[in-house]
Amino acid sequence: MLSQPKHKDVKVRDDGAPRQLSMNNQIKDINIYTIKNSKQKIDTLVFKDRFNYDVGFRIINAQGFNSFGLKEEVDLIFCNRHHQVIDTYTKFKINKFTQFHEKAVEVFVLAKNMIKYLNISINDQLKLAKY
């Protein structure tokens, strides 16, 4: 589910190059690609055979997520405009909808069990770091 942006605070890098995930100002070894629209979501996520543990995706201007077309479970992290985690879904099943998160402005999509592995919890801060 992508919707129109409510918050203009989310800056988008236009070159398509990945950035590294930063959690509470500590850079993690996970490359994050930004998804800006539904077409990009379909091209990068839908029917993807396998999610690698060192690659993730950030969907901007999203208050919800659906896993239609995915082939395996994923971990989802919803963040507000201050980059704080407001909700997480571990092993989110295929062909399901999340609930609507009014305060969310971005959703991180990671391989399953990454939330547990990285020990991500509510109010952690997730950002993208330049190389």
- Please report the pLDDT score of residue 6 as a whole number: 46
The answer on pLDDT for 17 being more than 90 is no
Asked if 97 contacts 32 with a C-beta cutoff of 8 angstroms, the reply is: no
How many C-beta atoms surround the C-beta of residue 20 within 10 A? Answer: 16
Evaluate whether the domain defined by 21-129 bears CATH number 2.60.120.1140.
Answer: yes
Q: What is the pTM of this model?
A: 0.86
- Mean pLDDT calculated for residue range 111-122: 96
Read off the pLDDT band of 8 (50, 70, 90).
Answer: very low
Pairing state of beta strands 26-35 and 55-60? Answer: parallel
The answer on pLDDT for 3 being more than 60 is no
d(CA 87, CA 84): 9
Read off the pLDDT band of 47 (50, 70, 90).
Answer: confident
DSSP 103: T
- Mean pLDDT calculated for residue range 11-22: 74
Read off the pLDDT band of 14 (50, 70, 90).
Answer: low
Percent of the chain with pLDDT strictly greater than 90 = 75
Q: What is the pLDDT of residues 91-103, one digit of tens each?
A: 999 999 999 999 9
- Please report the pLDDT score of residue 127 as a whole number: 96
Residue ranges per structural domain of the chain: 21-129
d(CA 2, CA 14): 18
